[in-house]
Structure 1
Amino acid sequence: MNVFSDNTLRISELFFSIQGESTCAGLPCAFVRLQGCNLRCRYCDAAYSREEEGGHEMSVAAVLDWLAQYPGQLVEITGGEPLLQPNVMPLMTELLRQGRAVLLETNGSVDISPVPQGVGVILDVKCPDSGMTDRMEWENLARLGQRWRVGARGDEIKFVIGSEDDFFWARQLVRDECPAGPPLLFSPARPRMEPARLAELILTYRLPVRLQLQLHTILWPDRDRGV
């Protein structure tokens, strides 16, 4: 992997855990959390990965070497905002070449066009309670729809719901803007929104969405890193 030795990434943490979100929830997963984020969501659960000067530098080759100890396992690249670091592209491309299943969690504010087709993009749509709705790159919804039409079956759209106002806002967006195809995930921002209440709203309005709970917070409620 010498070709990757000069390409570096700013890493917040590397860890092996149970995937707690997405339609892959419950699977063992090797996580690559990149450092640095351009948003400041009110309910952020990984605030330690926000600042660009945090974390530590690693070559793409070193990250691939770390991942090699978990052969065949699902890989998720998250942040922070991974798409702020250009060298995430060769990392994802090499993982796909190795035959790995790769997820990319992105905050929705950066153009997803360069993401390789085989990567499962989890696009986080920022609801009003996040305070970051106006930072969304709304063209990403159309881009996700185009990816789906040409065969990207791993892509998903996630809404973190912090209030009933968020729910009704997201409901309208699902009806008017979200492309057909990618699964839609509604996740409660606890303690702002209780899961049972969000479930009731989904049932009452018969939305074609999946209720998503953060499985890792149920398994390890006292840990905020490495899960």
Structure 2
Amino acid sequence: MPVNTDESSVDHSTGTKIGNDENRNGNTDSGDLPINELFYSLQGEGVLAGTPSVFIRTSGCNLRCWFCDSYHTSWEPTHAWLSIEDIIEDVQSYPATHVVLTGGEPLIHDTSVELLDRLAECGYHTTVETNGTVYREGDIDLASISPKLASSTPTPERAPTGDGEWIESHEARRLDIETLATLIESYEFQLKFVVTDSDDLPEITDLLERIRAVTSTQIRNTDVLLMPEGATRSALDDTRETVAALAIEHGYRYTPRLHVDLWNDAPGT
């Protein structure tokens, strides 16, 4: 089913980006979930990289990472309100059995649980992309947990707004060890870290030690994925080899950003 778009929206052959704060009937703020875009592509990151997938991107986030590659779900949220049934109908229009629920931070919305339960009833395998600060009990086949390091903090030099207004709240929220441990204990998981350079590795090592100290669930080094920072090919060119070398050195997994390598920063990929 096609979705109405605004002037910033792009139909990238396999999906549609959503811009208006309306549902399909033209009503404002009515619907089950704020959806920024829903599209069909390849999973670009993690253990399922390369898997044909339907992406459901919710709008809204409790963090403000300066390098966020979905700017219009966090810094300047845009969305349409869609019902669970409309979302399911859209998902079923694509030839995929894997669905990625992402954001923003999809677990800030309690209705995400209802959507995940409905997707499970329909036979879909689901990955939830989460920053690890919110826990909800639902049908999640893979929790793709991406804890945010200190290098994510939107300082005045790095933040899109340029004035550092989000520093305090981002720092206060970006890590929750108990919630991270609960997610790991509850679901099949991968821990995915956005890495810029070797300065990030001591923090990753320390964070893993802190999580391992409060959970009985084994966290293998191969459950830890290092992903190069960069939302464009040129940016990845600056970090890819460095991060791959760090993964080899520390025994962690390296994950590409396949969608960036293939389509650069095009929407709907």
CA contact (8 A) 1:126 1:133 kept: no
CA contact (8 A) 1:77 1:104 kept: yes
Which consecutive residues of structure 1, in runs of 5 or more, have no partner in the other structure? 1-5
Q: Deviations over 1:136-190 (max 9, x none)?
A: 222122213322xxxx33x211111123211221123234434524721111113
Partner of 1:144: 183
Distance in 2 (CA, whole Å) between partners of 1:107 and 1:143 is: 13
| Pair 1:199-2:244 in alignment | yes
Partner of 2:120: 96
Partner of 1:220: 263
Q: Deviations over 1:118-141 (max 9, x none)?
A: 431111111110014541222122
| Pair 1:180-2:180 in alignment | no
Partner of 2:149: 127
Distance in 2 (CA, whole Å) between partners of 1:121 and 1:218 is: 24
Distance in 1 (CA, whole Å) between partners of 2:246 and 2:32 is: 45
CA contact (8 A) 1:129 1:163 kept: no
Which consecutive residues of structure 2, in runs of 5 or more, have no partner in the other structure? 1-29, 154-169
Partner of 2:24: none
Larger radius of gyration between Structure 1 and Structure 2: 2
CA contact (8 A) 2:194 2:227 kept: yes
Distance in 2 (CA, whole Å) between partners of 1:107 and 1:91 is: 19
Partner of 1:167: 201
Q: Supply the AA of the counterpart residue of 1:146.
A: E
Partner of 2:137: 115
Determine helix, strand or coil for the equivalent of 1:125: coil
Partner of 1:3: none
Q: Deviations over 1:21-56 (max 9, x none)?
A: 111100110000001111110111110111586211
- Structure 1 length as normaliser, TM-score? 0.85
CA contact (8 A) 1:12 1:56 kept: yes
* Percent sequence identity over aligned pairs: 31
Partner of 1:80: 104
Q: Supply the AA of the counterpart residue of 1:210.
A: R
Aligned length: 212
Measured on the aligned residues, the alpha-carbon RMSD in Å equals 2.1
